[in-house]
Structure 1
Amino acid sequence: MSRVAAHRCLLLVVAFCPLSIPPVDAADPLPSWNEGENKQRIVEFVKSVTARTSRWYVPASRRVATFDNDGTLWSEQPMYVQLRFAMYRTHRLAAQHPEWKTLQPFKAVLENDKAALMKAGGPGLMTLVAATHGGTVEEFQAQVAGWLKAARHPRFNRPYTDLVFQPMLELMAYMRANGFKTYIVSGGDIEFMRTWMEKIYGIPPEQVVGSRLKTRLEIRKGKPVLLRLPELEFINNSEGKPVSIRKFIGQRPLAAFGNSDGDLQMLQWTTAGNGKRLAVIVHHTDQKREWSYDRQTSIGHLDKALDEAIKRKWVVVDMKEDWKVIYPFASPQ
């Protein structure tokens, strides 16, 4: 075959190859999501702010997405995971605090009075956190890691870190693959979350924003250590979330994800920015595979935020209808 003929053959091969080879982005970036309007809106948003030819294009340096944790990325029922850890620590420390036998909410924990504990609400949880989450940062994180390794969820008999939502893991990976920086903005204790989130979510400690205890530097045995004090510095919930985002991240997110009224202000502040924005609420509607709850629960209470989402046409993810699978260990249904 002459060189000219060979060149013509090569051109024919190149011309016809694309007919049989799918484009690079043909693979579904969200395989655990059912096809539908919500999935489509999320994908279209990401494409619109990352395509250079789009009128909504945003440089990678400005692509910030914030995620609540409890109820948004992992299950929060029948009780917040951190609350279970605080209860565990209360029992461990009770011998050093005889006054806890008559002092709420410690009394409720020691007597396993769940009704009284739930009645204590958020302030009760914060009281438990302040009293049981002290020590040096390293000591506290070792306690969290040890507990997470041994503890099991009462319904599924699996480690709590197995109870993460597979569709949301895919979503975070998809956004990072498209130049987004993903942050956790949660009401949970910041050091509790930093202990395990990089391994489970792929989010490093410096991108985790949460509630905080006061901390001071001390010298112990000639070495400086950071000591967590039994006093709350900041509760990162509701109005506190936009404040923390501005303080620690420095810019308004393009996209924000939550599941409860505690996320409402973060979603409102995100969508109040210029350009294209995305607000997503994870609505727990699947009693069979997870739980079904919204307005009537004290854990993950979703009322005002749901009304706002409907009014403003935010994305409301229906777990039962939108997700093929809930957890990484589960089979699609």
Structure 2
Amino acid sequence: MKKSFLKPIFSAIAVLFFLSSCKSSNEEPKSIQEETVGQQEQITDVLPSWNDTKNKQAIIDYVNAVTKEGGAEFIPIKDRVAVFDNDGTLWSEQPAYFQLLFAIDQVKKMAKDHPEWEGKQPYQAVIDGDMTSLSKQGMKAIVTLIMTTHAGMSTDDFEEEVVNWIATAKHPKTEQPYNQMIFQPMLELLEFLRANGFKTYIVSGGGIDFMRAWAVDAYGIPEDQIVGSVIKTQFEMTDEGPRLVRLPELDFIDDKEGKPVGIQHFIGKKPVFAAGNSDGDLQMLQWTASSDYKNFELYIHHTDSVREWSYDRGSHIGGFDKGWDEAVNKGWTIVDMAKDWSIIYPFEK
């Protein structure tokens, strides 16, 4: 009884197996080689949010060349240092630097208690809501506002302020949290470099403590690999225990000529890969280009007025003038956001 019951089941399975293994006359079977190539294409699409352009291929070719053991252009892992600007390179910077928007919110909360700010820049620009004037005052204005609004605050309290702002504030155009205004293609580039033995650093004009409060989670870059502008702090022993207190005094601006200085001070190695988006990053890319190793200089060109913004020469934020000329003359890679990137932000996926 048992055998007669199972026999028709086995016969049905055999027929189904035979039918599923047959190809229709209109479908040519793939060779093993073709299937392997298809699998390799899926595996090697390391920058999926990048369109298949020469710039994407240039990045991949560079990484392949410098990581090939025994190759003429091989770079030892200890020397694979990659540096990235933040504002306009890893996240957006319009309609104003995001740290400036954070500082503006802080000034507005405190202005009623500080009548001495009236008529004095950069405070008057904040009070008047004059973003154009404020942005033209540059990174020094941002640092001044941060120093003033957070003088006497402990580093722990300042970090808490930043974390709370990042968690609640929304971008005026996209209405997304600011830590979602990061560039998905650049996240992939960071990961691709790290997967190939590169150590990735942020080297930004923004405040180092401001970035360390949120950038670790956003980019996967640890605090000790974040370089930025610094205000002075001092150690105090209180009844609650030791603390570091922020002082209203600038220690270091990590912008323009300051970027190579910051790299040497905080990193101690000349980079072999550098990415920026403005004239403020030019000296960092020049420093990288002087490496004895094969090096790669990359500029992000903001060309997408629909999905992001379009600006370059003459912009009061992210001005790209001298850097553009040098990039063209020296054959550096200029990423066209509109053409090279299939998406801009993670929330577009």
Q: TM-score, normalised by structure 2?
A: 0.87
Q: How big is the shift at 1:105?
A: 1.5
1:103 aligns with 2:120: yes
What residue is the counterpart of 2:84 in the other structure? Answer: 67
Alpha carbons 1:69, 1:184 under 8 Å: kept: yes
Instruction: Determine the C-alpha separation between the residues in 1 that align with 2:130 and 2:345.
Output: 30
Q: Percent identity?
A: 50
Moved over 6 A (4+): 16-19
Note if contact 1:86-1:133 (Cα within 8 Å) is conserved in structure 2. no
Deviation at 1:19, TM superposition (A): 6.8
Distance 2:270 2:142 in 1: 29
Residue in structure 1 matched with residue 293 of structure 2 by the alignment = 275
Contact 1:32 1:325 in 2 (8 A): yes
Provide the rounded CA distance (Å) in 2 between the counterparts of 1:264 and 1:38: 19
Which has the higher mean CA deviation after the structures are superposed, 25-34 or 279-288? 25-34
- SS in structure 1 at match of 2:287: helix
Equivalences for 1:1-333 in 2 at 5 Å?
20-21=35-36, 22-23=39-40, 26-134=43-151, 135-331=153-349
Structure 1 range deviating more: 200-209 or 129-138? 129-138
1:192 Cα shift? 0.2
Q: What one-letter code is carried by the residue in structure 2 that aligns with 1:288?
A: V
Task: For residues 268-322 of structure 1, give each alpha carbon's deviation from its aligned partner in whole angstroms, at most 9, with x where no partner exists.
Answer: 0101111210000000001011000000211001100010000000000000110
Q: Which residue identity lines up with residue 55 of structure 1 in the other structure?
A: A
For the structure 1 residues 123 and 244, does the alpha-carbon distance in structure 2 shift closer, same or farther, using more than 3 Å as the test?
Answer: closer
2:197 is paired with a residue whose SS is: coil
Contact 2:143 2:207 (C-alpha < 8 Å) held by counterparts = no
Aligned partner of 2:65: which letter? Answer: S
Q: In 2, distance between residues paired with 1:206 and 1:110?
A: 35
Q: TM-score, normalised by structure 1?
A: 0.91
More off after superposition, 95-104 vs 34-43: 95-104
SS of the equivalent of 1:73 reads coil
Q: Equivalents in 2 of 1:197, 1:50: separation in Å?
A: 27
**What letter matches 1:204 in structure 2?**
P
Distance 1:34 1:19, change over 3 A: closer
In the alignment, residue 215 of structure 2 is paired with which amino acid? M
- CA gap of 1:235–1:322, structure 2 versus 1, over 3 A, is same
Letter in 1 for 2:75: V
TM-aligned CA deviation for residue 18 of structure 1: 7.2
Of the two, which has the highest radius of gyration? 2
Task: Give the Cα separation in 2 of the matches to 1:90 and 1:208.
Answer: 26
Instruction: Return the alpha-carbon distance in structure 2 between the equivalents of residues 290 and 20 of structure 1.
Output: 38
CA RMSD, aligned part only?
1.7
For the residue of structure 1 that corresponds to 2:320, the secondary structure is: coil
Query: Which 10-residue stretch deviates more, 263-272 or 48-57?
Result: 48-57
1:30 partner SS:
coil
Moved more, 131-140 or 266-275: 131-140
What amino acid is the match of 2:306?
A: K
SS of alignment partner, residue 225 of structure 1: strand
Runs of 5+ consecutive residues of structure 2 not aligned to the other structure: 1-30
CA distance in 2, matches of 1:187, 1:147: 20
Distance 2:262 2:73 in 1: 26
Matches of 1:144 and 1:310, distance apart in 2? 38
Unaligned runs of 5+ in 1: 1-15
Question: Cα–Cα, structure 1 residues 119 and 34, in superposed 2: closer, same or farther, change >3 Å?
Answer: closer
How many equivalent pairs are there?
A: 316
Distance 1:132 1:40, change over 3 A: same
Amino acid at match of 2:146: V
Give the Cα separation in 2 of the matches to 1:61 and 1:24: 30
Change (3 A) 1:200 1:238: same
Q: Give the drift of 1:120.
A: 3.2
The one-letter amino acid of 1:320's match is A
Change beyond 3 A, Cα 1:36–1:240: same
Does structure 1 retain, via aligned residues, the 8 Å contact 2:139–2:205? no
Q: Per-residue CA shift, 1:194-232, capped at 9, x if unaligned?
A: 001111100010000000000110112151111111111
The Cα shift of 1:27 comes to 3.0
